[in-house]
Amino acid sequence: MSWTDERVEQLKKMWGEGQSASQIAKELGGVTRNAVIGKVHRLGLSNRAGAAPAKTAKEKPAAKAEASPAKPAAAEATPAARPAQSPARKQIIPAGQPLPPQPSANEISPEALASVREVEKKSKKISLMELTERTCKWPVGDPATDDFWFCGLPVQQGKPYCEAHVGVAFQPMSSRRDRRR
């Protein structure tokens, strides 16, 4: 199955009417629900998160509609009648676009970085073959170059790194996680 111009137009129309991906796939034939969802994303169509799907005559038989009690329109419009949604919605970024900078939960303090720089000046600069359980295994540099080495200073008890590198590698839990305890 290929996405012809006619099929794409029909997909856009049905998506705009609020039909589900399953309904669209069934109507188009020869495509899966996931293929419809993928095409919708590639076309950049609205995600319709706030819109209620439109009901078609096929979905709601007349006999069933008469048997069910009618809800007052005012009750459906009240905030208590529908699930609460947060006012700040996540922004959907199209595929291929760079993500905006994300704040890090575990920012490394300038003091820890300064300590690491000082330690790396004093480090033994050992190779992989020289590492033991008593030497700091903190890698420095690009492994693809000849200027790559490991710290090699004595490790902190029960850790794979020296004291300065432990301070960078093992960050304390965020304050939010601390409060849950």
Domain span at residue 158 reads 110-172
| Model confidence, pTM | 0.38
Asked if residue 9 has pLDDT above 70, the reply is yes
User: What integer pLDDT is reported at residue 181 of this predicted model?
Assistant: 53
What ranges in 4-97 are assigned the alpha helix state H? 5-16, 21-28, 33-43, 62-67, 73-77
pLDDT for 89 beyond 80: no
Share of the chain above pLDDT 70, in %: 61
**Which of 67, 84, 100 is the last residue before a domain boundary?**
67
Q: Is residue 83 part of a domain?
A: no
Residue 40 contacts residue 11 (beta carbons within 8 Å): yes
Residue 134 lies in a domain: yes
Question: 32, 50, 67: which is the final residue of a domain?
Answer: 67
Number of folded domains in the chain? 2
Confidence of residue 5 (pLDDT cuts 50, 70, 90): very high
3-class DSSP state of 31: coil
Phi then psi dihedrals of residue 35, to 5 deg: -65, -40
Mean pLDDT value of segment 77-91: 52
Q: Considering the domain boundaries, does residue 143 fall inside one?
A: yes
Among 80-89, 95-104, 136-145, which range has the highest average pLDDT?
Answer: 136-145
- C-alpha to C-alpha distance for 181 and 174, rounded to whole angstroms: 12
Please state the rounded mean pLDDT for residues 109-132.
83
Structure tokens at 92: 């959907």
Pair 62, 115 in one domain:
no
